[in-house]
Amino acid sequence: MFKIVFDTNVLVSSIFWENGAPHEVVAKAQEQKVQNHTSLELLRELEDILLHKFKQPEDIVKRQLDLVRAFSFIIEPMTRIFAVKDDPDDNMVLECAVSCNADYIISGDSHLLSLKEYKGIKVLSSREFLEII
């Protein structure tokens, strides 16, 4: 089973657009066809985006976070990474992936996608990952 890390933008896209590739790939994690890993830092970022950018009510945000926790292994990254200079927040995705020895990072972010691979971990879009599985 593939070990993956979702970038926050994939989860957000999955929540708001149910007909796209991000929703489909998140469904694979919910069905336990892939093993998702996340960190408290990534969950806080998701919470912040849902509350402040998308103005979602707290009870809805709590439900979404509980859902993500239910199909994810929560890890504490063991190392700090400074590979993405143009968007330092993206480094927390790499930190999580390296710490759990992920096979793939699934992202819609151009900074991460441009890496293509980091320390043996492939960085793919949701659509690219669906073609693999």
Cβ atoms of 98 and 81 within 8 Å: the answer is: yes
Domain count across the chain: 1
How far is Cα 35 from Cα 31, in angstroms, rounded to an integer? 10
pLDDT of res. 33: 97
Share of the chain above pLDDT 70, in %: 100
H or E element that contains 27: helix 21-30
- What confidence tier does 94 reach under pLDDT thresholds 50, 70, 90? very high
Q: 3-state class of 40 per DSSP?
A: helix
82: domain range?
A: 3-132
- The CATH number of residue 84's host domain is 3.40.50.11490
Q: 3-state class of 130 per DSSP?
A: helix
pLDDT of res. 89: 94
Whole-model pTM? 0.96
Among residues 36, 42, 107, the alpha carbon closest in space to that of 70 is found at 36
| DSSP class of 52 | I
